[in-house]
């Protein structure tokens, strides 16, 4: 997988101070992750395992406590940033106001992810511009969050995630039709797939579709995406 034309972004989901296994966006059922990549669900240990399997340039962190309004894992995010300074961290912590981003205390090499499911309107996306990443969130066919953020591509920043929650952790394959529809409207913006990516073959197919990269967790933990598994 070419390092310059497609980016695989490892994902860690944090809940209650631990890394958890995400499946289909059903957050009430998430449990601490059990993975051959780490001796425990401690976040830094999980990240170390992910980055050993795939030495990525970016890491996506979903703070599920913050997204659900039940506290936050800011200390764990700061510790990850400290231990892995070579990685740009993308943080989704349910940000809906700029004061929440400031209050979280994002590390220096971090970018806020603005998920549509957490928004009430377009103001935060409009204000942050290119400094943020927009996640267009979907549950099955339902578009989550304000319709304007899905409909008005003029609001979209330079980096976009298409988050298909029903496919997260389900090995169902990426939603290439939805990704293609967003890509057509996104123009030169970088579009990332999230949900359903099973292996490097899926990544190759997405690259052929003009997708910039993919957020991946389960396939890395299962050993289907590893740096030493790349085709020559």
Q: Which two tokens stand for residue 94?
A: 């349910």
| Average confidence (pLDDT) over 8-34 | 84
Residue listed under structure tokens 């990544």:
203
Instruction: Give, for 9, the enclosing helix (H) or strand (E).
Output: strand 7-15
- Helical H runs in 167-212? 176-186, 200-208
- Locus of tokens 């892995």: 84
> Looking only at Cα atoms, what is the longest distance across the chain?
47
Closest among 16, 72, 84 to 44, alpha carbons compared: 84
What pLDDT is attached to residue 171? 76
Q: How far apart are CA 63 and CA 10, in angstroms?
A: 14
DSSP 209: T
Query: For the chain, what percent of residues have pLDDT higher than 70?
Result: 93
Range with lowest mean pLDDT among 3-7, 51-55, 102-106? 3-7
User: Rg for the chain (alpha carbons), in Å?
Assistant: 16
**What value does the mean pLDDT of the chain take?**
92
Report d(CA 206, CA 212) in Å as an integer: 8
User: What residue spans define the domains of the chain?
Assistant: 11-229
Domain 11-229, what fold? TIM Barrel (3.20.20)
Q: How many CB atoms lie within 10 A of CB 40?
A: 14
Alpha-carbon distance values, 203 to 39, 55, 69, 89 (Å): 28, 16, 33, 21
pLDDT higher than 70, residue 24: no
Distance, CA of 193 to CA of 182 (rounded, Å): 10
* Res. 5: pLDDT tops 90: no
pLDDT, position 231:
41
Q: What is the pLDDT of residues 114-164, one digit of tens each?
A: 999 999 999 999 999 999 999 999 998 899 999 999 999 999 999 999 999
């Amino acid at each position: 997988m070419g390092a310059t034309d497609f980016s695989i972004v490892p994902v860690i989901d944090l809940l209650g101070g631990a890394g958890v296994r995400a499946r289909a966006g059903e957050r009430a059922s998430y449990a601490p992750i059990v993975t051959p990549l780490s001796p425990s669900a401690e976040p830094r240990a999980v990240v170390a395992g992910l980055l050993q399997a795939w030495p990525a340039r970016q890491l996506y962190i979903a703070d599920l406590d913050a997204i659900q309004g039940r506290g936050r894992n800011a200390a764990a995010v700061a510790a990850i940033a400290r231990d892995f300074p070579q990685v740009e961290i993308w943080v989704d912590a349910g940000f809906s106001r700029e004061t929440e981003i400031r209050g979280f205390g994002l590390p220096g090499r971090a970018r806020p992810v603005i998920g549509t499911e957490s928004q009430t309107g377009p103001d935060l996306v409009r204000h942050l511009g290119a400094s943020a990443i927009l996640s267009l969130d979907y549950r099955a066919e339902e578009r989550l969050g304000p319709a304007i953020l899905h409909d008005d591509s003029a609001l979209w920043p330079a980096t976009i995630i298409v988050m298909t929650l029903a496919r997260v952790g389900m090995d169902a394959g990426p939603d290439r039709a939805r990704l293609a529809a967003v890509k057509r409207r996104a123009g030169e913006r970088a579009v990332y797939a999230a949900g359903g990516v099973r292996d490097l073959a899926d990544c190759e197919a997405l690259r052929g579709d003009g997708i910039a990269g993919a957020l991946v967790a389960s396939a890395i933990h299962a050993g289907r995406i590893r740096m030493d598994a790349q085709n020559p």
